[in-house]
Every structure is written in C-alpha cells, then in structure tokens.
Amino acid sequence: MTGQERVLIVDDDHDVREIVRRALELEGYVVYDCADGRQALDAFHQYQPDLVLLDVLMPGMDGINICLAIREESDVPIIFLSAKEQPSDKAIGLRIGADDYIGKPFDLDELAARVRALLRRARSVKADLPHQEDSADRLIFPGIIIDLSRHDVEVNGESLDLTPIEFRLLAKLASEPNRLFTRDQLMQDVWDHEFLGQTRTVDVHIRRLRKKLEDVHGPSQYINTVRGFGYRFSLPNGSAIGE
C-alpha cells in the first residue's frame, strides 16, 4: 500500500480513465480524473496530486501544453499516456518535462509499476532536500541569500519568485560554488532523472532562472555556462558564508 498519495488522470477516453482508476485504487492511491484539457489545470490546483497521468491528444488544451504549464510551477512526476508512439513523440514529451511516456494500449501492471517507481523517487528526493535538514540553513553570497529551510531566495533585499525546479537548480549549483555541474548531473540530482534525451530541459530552466536573477540584479554574475560541459555558480566577491 502507498498511503494517501494522490494521482490525477487526465484523459478524454472514459474507458481509459475508469480502468486506470480501478487499477490504481487497488494499489492504494487516491485517484482523481478529468476528461478535458481545459479542466486539467483547475483539477491540478484543486487536488494537488503527487503524480499526473496525462493524455497527449485532448479537446481544449492538449497534453503538451498542460505539461508545460505544470512545469512552470511544479516538479510533480508526470507520465504521458498516448497512442502516439513514434520515437520523436516520446522525445518531445520527455524533453518538455515529462518523467515517463507510455504508449497505448498499455499493460496495467507495468503502468502501476512505473507509477510506484516515480513516486518512490519523488519521496526520496524530498527526503534528501537540504532545506529539510536544518531550519536555519542559509547560503549567503554577495547580493543573494538562499534560505534552504524556507525555500526562499532574496536578491538585493528583494524576494525572488522561483518555481520548485528553479529553486532546486539554484540551490544545487550554489551548494558548491565554482564546481562545474554537467547537464546530466543536474538532471539526475535536481530531477532525479534516469531518462535520456532531456538535458535540454536543464538549459530551458537555467535560462528562466537567469532571467529572473537579471530582472532584479542586472546581468547575472552567478550562473556561468561552460560551453560543451554544463554550468557553475560563480561568486563576484569571495565565498559563501553559511549560517
């Protein structure tokens, strides 16, 4: 049994929703569902699921755009369920931030196993996050304070509005100033990701994070690109001071 972890199914096929619902409820999950892409984000905010099963082709807002919208604010695990099984379709789904991609028709036992695996990894990542270890833990740099316990970033005295992934990216890079992290390392440590072909996702989130830093601080001196390798957090003046 898995306790009260919540799964949201978004699929316009009633039979698929019902079959998957029954299978996951037998696994011990609390399951919600909706049939329309336009309702998906409302359902996501209402139910705050621990995992989303998302069809690609739906009326209203399609699964690709729903995934992109969720990734703007959350790193909740997402599994695409789709009849589109071409390698390029899977690559697109994974590249934009999905954690897995399962073609229809699918085996219910396999689906349940993948759901369990992703939720287990998500629990492990949350348990390992440094901000959960010390309520007073902060990283202090010139012009920027990263409060790991409050999940908050302050730049030049102004609070920075970051998504969960953006915060985890910044905290990871800042945890070891001047260390070069490859995209694969960031993918594994921040997303806890084992799938191939998603390292461009790192670039997308780095660009958004830099933009937010620059909006407050001016041209970012913190996150530097090492072309062909990855990224590192560099300090304008000296090293971090931990509290």
Out of 128, 152, 172, a domain closes at: 128
DSSP letters along 33-76, please? EES-HHHHHHHHHHH--SEEEEESS-SSS-HHHHHHHHHTT---
Domain CATH number, residue 61: 3.40.50.2300
The residues, ordered by sequence, that sit 6+ positions from 35 with a Cβ below 8 Å of its Cβ are: 10, 11, 12, 14, 17, 58
Are 91 and 160 within one domain?
no
Are 121 and 140 within one domain?
no
How confident is the prediction for the chain on average, in pLDDT? 82
The burial class, CB within 10 Å (0-12 / 13-18 / 19+), for 45 is exposed
DSSP letters along 94-137, please? HHTT-SEEEESS--HHHHHHHHHHHHHHHHHHHHH-GGGT-TT-
Residue 1 lies in a domain: no
Are 124 and 24 within one domain?
yes
**Residue whose token pair is 């030049």:** 156
pLDDT of residue 220: 60
Are 64 and 99 within one domain?
yes
**Residue whose token pair is 């369990």:** 116
Are 155 and 118 within one domain?
no
Rounded percentage of the chain residues whose pLDDT exceeds 70: 83
Distance CA 14, CA 18 (A): 6
- Mean pLDDT value across residues 97-108: 89
Out of 128, 161, 179, a domain closes at: 128
CA atoms within 13 A on the CB side of 100: 21
pLDDT of residue 91: 80
Q: For 163, phi and psi rounded to 5 degrees?
A: -75, 165
**Residue whose token pair is 């945890």:** 175
Per-residue pLDDT tens over the stretch 23-75? 999 999 999 999 988 889 989 988 889 999 999 888 888 899 999 888 888 88
Are 21 and 95 within one domain?
yes
Residue 108 lies in a domain: yes
Are 148 and 109 within one domain?
no
Distance CA 115, CA 97 (A): 16
User: With b meaning 16 or more CB within 10 Å and e meaning fewer, what string describes 84-109?
Assistant: beeeebbebbbebbbbbbbeeeeeee
Q: For 207, phi and psi rounded to 5 degrees?
A: -60, -45
What is the number of structural domains in the chain? 2
The burial class, CB within 10 Å (0-12 / 13-18 / 19+), for 2 is middle
Domain CATH number, residue 222: 1.10.10.10
The tokens describing 116, both together, are: 């369990």
- The yes-or-no verdict on residue 218 having pLDDT over 50 is yes
Are 109 and 29 within one domain?
yes
Range of the domain at 156: 132-242
pLDDT of residue 239: 41
Per-residue pLDDT tens over the stretch 105-158? 899 999 999 999 989 887 766 555 443 333 347 888 878 889 887 888 988 888
Out of 128, 153, 181, a domain closes at: 128
Are 92 and 169 within one domain?
no
Residue 44 lies in a domain: yes
Per-residue pLDDT tens over the stretch 139-148? 888 788 898 8
Are 137 and 111 within one domain?
no
| CA 41 to the chain's CA centroid | 16
Distances (CA, A) of 10 to 30, 81, 113, 220: 14, 9, 19, 39
